[in-house]
Amino acid sequence: MSSLFALLALSGLATAQSPAPPLTLVSPGARQPLESIEAEGRRLVPLRALASLFQLDLRDDTATGTLALRSGEQEVLLTAGERLVSVDGRLVSLGSSPRQIGGRWWVPLDFINRALSAIADRRLEVRPRSGLVLIGEVDVPRVAARYRPRARTGRLSVETTPGTAHRIIEEPGRLRIRFEADAIDVVRLSPARGEIVRSIEVDADLPGLTVELGPAFDSFRVTQPTAAGGEARLVLDLLSADAAASAGTAGGAARPGAERASAGTRPARPAGPAARARPGASPAPRPGDAPRPGGDSPDAEALPDFAAAPTIRTIVVDAGHGGTDEGAHGPDGTLEKNVTLGVARRLRAALEARLGARVILTRTGDTVVPIDERASIANNNKADLFISLHANSSRSVTRRGAEVFYLSIDEYGAEAREVAEREAPLLSVVGGGAREIDIVEWEMAQARHVDRSARLAELVEDELRQRVPMSPRAIQQAPFRVLVGANMPAVLVEMGFISNPDQERQLTAASFQNEVVDAVIAAVLRFRDYLERLPSMPDDDEAVGDAATGMGDAPASQASGQS
């Protein structure tokens, strides 16, 4: 395999395009970079490098502008400027078209999954967030790391899917978590804060994580719960000298210089959340109009079974804008309010059919719904999720790509963080159970859900990235008013830039809208599985406001005032 990777040494990057960080090709026992560039929000890779790697015959017909990629009797046909490619006679749509740049052919990253995998002699998988291309049977777990500082301690929670054996090594000034894997796919890495931890970085050479310790660090304690549902969680409590003294040696704190191995076995790979759609109860009758805030709703849910594991029963889908609030306008006159309502209707039908969930739209027609009333509809119907749909706009007609947002509470100050961190009161109810009752001010409602909203946003972004063009800043935090009052996990999805002529046409196409719907449903299924695993996991005291890898600031342009 090493000789094949040597063929990937390429030069002459097209100067007209933006260079992008190299991808990493991961095969059993080997890793090697693969050149890539960025063009119109899409990452492209050199076609000839892929042909060399998999020993495929690449033929370029300059006269017709077509290429043929062959492996024995199997063939992939590509045409310059065309997103549709033929894979053994079957048409497959790519995220963007193949193009010739600087005398070399480049293809979008999804060409590997959607076309090349059909004729390659090895299993292929692309992990776009981490820039990994997996070749053959390799172990590459997804890793999500969260860190939360406290007054005298810090807690680092590391989830791996599937559960993976690891070793914790303490060196002077740092802790290293090494996984028994070919590589790791880091889907979340929260920033370090406080005096106990200086930074948390990905170390591809381990592979694993390196935790640079701060001046207040004294020792650490490890909790390793049993893996559940194909996922395992490692919790490291990092202690200052005062906290370690209070805990005592009986608490199991490791002194500096310790090394711990966790030789747990890897659970069998799960079939994937999207493949485990369960039959649910028939959805409640669809409301003709959304209920008014504060009023009784004919769709109000019966008192739930408080002993049951958390799940997703009711989802509110918010079609942005409406009525006299038209939202953003496309160059050809497409209105954001019409796009969002069309997608919302498709999403409602699909969620009801595939999940058996009760789905409520904040508007079912071309009507004005005030911003705060949208969250009230979700709260009054005891919704488990709130998803707000929008189309972005910019003065630059070249900007493109979907973006996913969750609420930033920084604008609401220390009070919001206190609400986010405190425990909710538990009140007794009929039948001897207990129910969590949230009594918080309107602008504090979302604060306690920000961390789960961040998880939902990550999943929506990950699923969208596999189907539609994404913005370079694909996942962000912003103080959107429509999310502030939602008393449940809530995200806002900008499906694309309606100000871009190409994306305006995409946003009105049924095929594109269905891709968005499929992405949201897949994300909801994954989020439901995540919620249902929580009771078997220890309280990880998740940090509110931790930023996922690559999150930026609030969007530079929002033409829609209701977002």
> Strands of 18-19's sheet, edge to edge?
18-19, 37-39, 42-46, 104-108, 99-101
Q: Which residue has the higher pLDDT, 176 or 411?
A: 176
The per-residue pLDDT for range 328-373, each reduced to its tens digit, is 999 999 999 999 999 999 999 999 988 889 999 999 999 999 998 9
Domains along the chain with CATH numbers:
2-135 (3.30.457.10), 142-262 (2.60.40.3500), 310-536 (3.40.630.40)
- Percentage with pLDDT > 70 across the chain: 73
**Can you give the three-state secondary structure of 456-475, one letter per residue?**
HHHHHHHHHHCCCCEEEEEE
| pLDDT given at position 308 | 42
| pLDDT given at position 223 | 78
| pLDDT given at position 228 | 52
| pLDDT given at position 297 | 37
Distant-in-sequence, close-in-space partners of 231: CB < 8 Å, separation ≥ 6:
159, 160, 161, 162, 163, 533
Instruction: Please state the rounded mean pLDDT for residues 258-287.
Output: 40
Structure tokens at 9: 């040494």
- Percentage with pLDDT > 90 across the chain: 44
CA distance 273 to 35: 32
Q: Write down the residue that tokens 């002077």 correspond to.
A: 172
Contacts by 3-10, CB closer than 8 A, 24 or more apart: 4/52, 4/53, 4/55, 5/30, 5/32, 5/53, 7/49, 7/52, 7/53, 8/32, 8/33, 8/34, 8/35, 8/49, 8/52, 8/53, 10/35, 10/46, 10/49
Instruction: Please state the rounded mean pLDDT for residues 306-318.
Output: 73
252 closest CA partner among 234, 232, 237, 233: 237
Structure tokens at 63: 């006269």
The per-residue pLDDT for range 53-72, each reduced to its tens digit, is 889 999 887 777 789 999 88
The per-residue pLDDT for range 87-141, each reduced to its tens digit, is 888 888 888 889 888 888 999 998 998 889 888 878 888 888 889 999 999 999 9
The per-residue pLDDT for range 500-518, each reduced to its tens digit, is 999 999 999 999 999 999 9
| pLDDT given at position 379 | 93
Q: Beta-strand (E) ranges in 325-446?
A: 358-361, 385-392, 402-407, 426-428, 434-436
Identity of residue 29: G
Structure tokens at 531: 């919620």
| pLDDT given at position 214 | 92
Q: Which residue has the higher pLDDT, 369 or 417?
A: 369
| pLDDT given at position 134 | 94
CA distance 477 to 408: 5
505, 506, 510, 514 alpha-carbon torsion, rounded to 10°: -160
pLDDT band at 225 (very low <50, low <70, confident <90, very high): low
